[in-house]
Amino acid sequence: EAEVAQSPRYKITEKSQAVAFWCDPISGHATLYWYRQILGQGPELLVQFQDESVVDDSQLPKDRFSAERLKGVDSTLKIQPAELGDSAMYLCASSWGRRTDTQYFGPGTRLTVL
């Protein structure tokens, strides 16, 4: 069964350092999402790609976060510099299309900022 791949699974870093997360969506899925989930809350969308284009990054803290999906396949989310409040689970999801298609999540990256 096809799955969304993410790495690393866990990341511990010190504040002010740079971190990067990688995601490879299910093959053929045009839409890719990055979410952040804080313990006890539901996932919140950070950025959405349709192929290689950003569809929505309104909730992405652009002073420190960046995301790219250069060839319209895999994607990287970067944080620089990391802050204590960035500690969370970072989830990547993908879907066939843009509208009401089901989103499938990868295993996530647990980030701890010390």
Partner 1 sequence: QKEVEQNSGPLSVPEGAIASLNCTYSDRGSQSFFWYRQYSGKSPELIMFIYSNGDKEDGRFTAQLNKASQYVSLLIRDSQPSDSATYLCAVNRSNDYKLSFGAGTTVTVRA
Q: Which residues bind partner 1 (CB under 8 A)?
A: 40-45, 48, 56, 89, 91, 98-100, 102-108, 110
Rounded-to-integer distance, Cα 65 and Cα 62, Å:
5
Of residues 15 and 98, the one with the C-beta less far from partner 1:
98
Rounded least distance, CB 71 to partner 1, Å: 24
Which amino acid appears at position 27 of this protein? Answer: S
Rounded least distance, CB 16 to partner 1, Å: 26
Rounded least distance, CB 91 to partner 1, Å: 6
Find all residues with CB under 8 Å of 69, minimum gap 6, and list them.
32, 49, 51, 52, 75, 76
Of residues 65 and 90, the one with the C-beta less far from partner 1:
90
Tell me the HSE value of 30 on the side-chain side, using a 13 A CA sphere: 9
